[in-house]
Chains A and B, each alone.
Chain A
Amino acid sequence: MLYSPVEPMHIPDGFLSIAISVVCWVITIVTLGIAISRTNKSLEERQVPLMGVMAAFIFAAQMINFPVAGGTSGHLLGGALAAITLGPWAGMLVMTAVIAVQGLLFQDGGLVVMGANILNMGLLTAAVGYGLYRSVIGSNRSTRLAVAGVAAWLSVMTGALATSLQLWLSGTANLQVVVPTMLGVHALIGLGEALITVAALSFIFRTRPDLLGEQSASAQGGRGWVFAGVIIALAVVLLSPFASASPDGLERVAINMGFIETGQSAPYEIIPDYTIPFLGETALSTIVAGAVGVIVVLAIAFIAGRSLQNRSTANPKS
């Protein structure tokens, strides 16, 4: 009941090479530096206790689960929710604190690789989650909820893809296996994330609409977030099928750019005729499949948002 790690995205120490750990730390520190200077400028003193308590909220909310089927359950990771409710920079700081405590106190995620964990689960999830939500911030409630659902799902997929690429570049996992496995598992985890995020936001819309309104922290992020969110989301949508179906291509790119030492570039001949059965054979068809998948999720989230919306207007007390 107390602390149990909910999903396989927290990388422990020893699984990433020093080079990858350092690169991730540099990206994380630069982004957090910007986040800190922006929040110091724009936030009043009272926001610091708010962010602290909200970090505890994300931590505690990760314990809320709902049974799905066959003993599995849906969970909240919270990156998108934090960024949408608190604004992108504050959301990033809050998620950083959550990941730091998970690593420090519970050894859920390592210390030297914490830069990578913060990047995958805190910064990327907040950027994708907020960026997509920001693009429809002026629209009506159902559209915002639907897009928030897609954003939450994509934020989990982004983290999963980043984690698998880091593991592969460190020579810890086989690209051909790690990308489809991580993305497959997280496509389901992401659905739980999307459902809880949409329902939680819908609840907040009904009870405290001011927290998500024109004056709220979530409306303060600039248009640049839309750009960042869409770019990262597009990269994930295009790269995931490519990495799953044509790992050799990705590998060649990585070798050309000097990411992997030749010693680690295994020829991967153990599974000679390996194709991802549900994704087809060529990179192009799989990219199309990925895009279709996103559209399907968008449709589902839109319908879900609609139905949650109707119920809440039909019976506002619930």
Chain B
Amino acid sequence: MHSDAFDRYHHENSALHRLDPRIKLVVTIAFILSNALLPDGAWMAFALAWLFLILASALSELGLGFTFRRSFIALPFALMAVTVLFSIPGNPIFQFHLMWDFTITDAGLLRFVSIVIRSWLSVQMAILLVAVTRFPDLIHAFEHLRVPAILTTIIAFLYRYLFVLTDEVIRLLRARQSRSATAQGQRSGGSVMWRARVAGNMAGQLFLRSYERSDRIYNAMLARGYAGQLRTLNPHELHGRDWAYAIVAFLFILALQFVGRF
């Protein structure tokens, strides 16, 4: 197996790692919701939210730069928000000409920066969540939070076989690569249609291999006593310590909402 690089869990024995996954999940969602609820330009509240993130990172013992380094995945999407720079009426602060005249307004800049900060904070918290929580525990937390069993079971299977099927894809890609040797300076491969057909055949091949694998998996599970439900040995009980963390986190989030709004 090659593709274990998918796993985002980083093992430590910190206070955050030991916290109940339900609490971690609910606090993360509350934090992201709170970011979305903060008005544009609530700089003090954004700073407090960042402080919350830093405190959580410190508790995780993964290093303060950990989430920051991994947080650039959402940046390309920020391009979608660039248009608000120009489209919200306000005092012009910068003008340039590029096919049309563009004017950046102060209100547009305020909105753009606020959107990017909200998104950036939220992504970092989500990164921290999966770095300190084992994925099966996270799925278990969803089950406790009344997400329907069929969905959590599909997600658990997806996670488990993701690694296996990714290896399968890597083998298919490697096979295609070795069939596609090219002489120097020669154009290789057929038309785009031909290449698409090769890729489609690979997808079809993968589909069949997965389909047939699922049959074998089901039979193997039946042989081991599967009765339609995945079980865990981890009891996941909420202790006083978990409640204490939850209460402190919620008070912090309420406080930063208060600062942001008044």
Interface residues of A (CB under 8 A from B): 1-3, 5, 8, 10-18, 21, 32, 36, 39-40, 45-46, 48-57, 59-61, 63-69, 74, 76, 81, 85, 93-94, 96-98, 100-101, 103-108, 110-112, 167, 171-174, 176-178, 192, 195-204, 207-208, 211, 264, 266-268, 270-271, 274, 304, 307-308
Q: Could you say which of A3, A13, A208, A304 contacts B122, with CB atoms under 8 Å apart?
A: A13
Q: How many A-B residue pairs have CB under 8 A?
A: 285
> At the interface with chain A, which of B51-59, B70-78, B245-253?
B70-78
Q: Could you say which of B102, B148, B150, B199 contacts A196, with CB atoms under 8 Å apart?
A: B199
A11 to B: closest C-beta gap in Å: 7
Nearest chain-A residue to B81 (Cβ)? A172
- B interface secondary structure, majority: helix
B27 to A: closest C-beta gap in Å: 12
Cβ–Cβ contact A54 & B211, under 8 A: yes
Q: Could you say which of A8, A101, A167, A270 contacts B102, with CB atoms under 8 Å apart?
A: A270
Query: What is the interface size of chain B, counting residues whose CB is below 8 A from a CB of the partner?
Result: 91
Cβ–Cβ contact B155 & A97, under 8 A: yes
Cβ–Cβ contact B35 & A13, under 8 A: yes
Chain A hits for B199, CB < 8 A: 64-66, 74, 76, 195-196, 199
The answer to whether residues A64 and B214 also contact, given A69-B192, A199-B203 and a CB cut-off of 8 A, is: no
Chain A hits for B100, CB < 8 A: 270-271, 274
Cβ–Cβ contact B84 & A112, under 8 A: no
Chain A hits for B208, CB < 8 A: 204, 207-208
Chain A hits for B138, CB < 8 A: 104
Cβ–Cβ contact B122 & A76, under 8 A: no
Nearest chain-B residue to A76 (Cβ)? B203
Cβ–Cβ contact A13 & B203, under 8 A: no
Cβ–Cβ contact B214 & A63, under 8 A: no
Contact with A along B187-228 (1 / 0, CB 8 A): 001001101111111111111101101110110010000001
Question: Beyond A1-B170, A63-B166: 17 further Cβ-contacts under 8 Å?
Answer: A2-B6, A13-B35, A14-B119, A15-B80, A32-B151, A50-B215, A52-B153, A55-B158, A76-B199, A96-B154, A104-B126, A107-B127, A111-B29, A172-B81, A201-B204, A204-B204, A270-B101
Query: How distant is the Cα of A10 from the Cα of B73 in the complex, in angstroms?
Result: 11
Chain B hits for A13, CB < 8 A: 32, 35-36, 118-119, 122-123, 126
B183 part of interface (Cβ distance < 8 Å): no
Query: How distant is the Cα of A106 from the Cα of B7 in the complex, in angstroms?
Result: 9
Cβ–Cβ contact B115 & A199, under 8 A: no
Cβ–Cβ contact B36 & A18, under 8 A: yes
Cβ–Cβ contact A12 & B162, under 8 A: no
Chain B hits for A55, CB < 8 A: 154-155, 157-158
Cβ–Cβ contact A56 & B161, under 8 A: yes
Q: Could you say which of B103, B122, B158 contacts A112, with CB atoms under 8 Å apart?
A: B122
Of the A-B pairs whose beta carbons lie under 8 Å apart in the complex, a sample of 23, sorted by A's number, is A1-B170, A8-B80, A11-B77, A13-B118, A14-B119, A14-B120, A15-B77, A21-B36, A49-B218, A51-B157, A52-B158, A52-B214, A61-B207, A64-B172, A81-B203, A101-B162, A108-B73, A171-B111, A174-B84, A199-B199, A200-B203, A203-B203, A266-B87
Query: How distant is the Cα of A103 from the Cα of B28 in the complex, in angstroms?
Result: 13
Nearest chain-B residue to A58 (Cβ)? B158
Contact with A along B73-98 (1 / 0, CB 8 A): 11011011101101111000000000
Nearest chain-A residue to B117 (Cβ)? A14
A-B pairs with lowest CB-CB distance, top 4 = A199-B200, A52-B157, A203-B204, A14-B119
Cβ–Cβ contact B151 & A17, under 8 A: no
Query: How distant is the Cα of A81 from the Cα of B202 in the complex, in angstroms?
Result: 14
Chain A hits for B215, CB < 8 A: 50
Cβ–Cβ contact B165 & A36, under 8 A: no
Cβ–Cβ contact A36 & B206, under 8 A: no
Cβ–Cβ contact B148 & A64, under 8 A: no
Cβ–Cβ contact A36 & B148, under 8 A: yes
Cβ–Cβ contact A10 & B162, under 8 A: no
The listed residue with most B CB atoms (<10 A of its CB), out of A18, A45, A66, A197, is: A66
Q: Could you say which of A49, A60, A85, A101 contacts B214, with CB atoms under 8 Å apart?
A: A49
B259 part of interface (Cβ distance < 8 Å): no
B3 part of interface (Cβ distance < 8 Å): yes
Chain A hits for B206, CB < 8 A: 57, 60-61, 64
Q: Could you say which of B159, B172, B213 contacts A101, with CB atoms under 8 Å apart?
A: B159
A207 to B: closest C-beta gap in Å: 6
A308 to B: closest C-beta gap in Å: 6
Query: How distant is the Cα of A264 from the Cα of B150 in the complex, in angstroms?
Result: 40
Cβ–Cβ contact B151 & A36, under 8 A: yes
A217 to B: closest C-beta gap in Å: 11
Nearest chain-A residue to B123 (Cβ)? A107
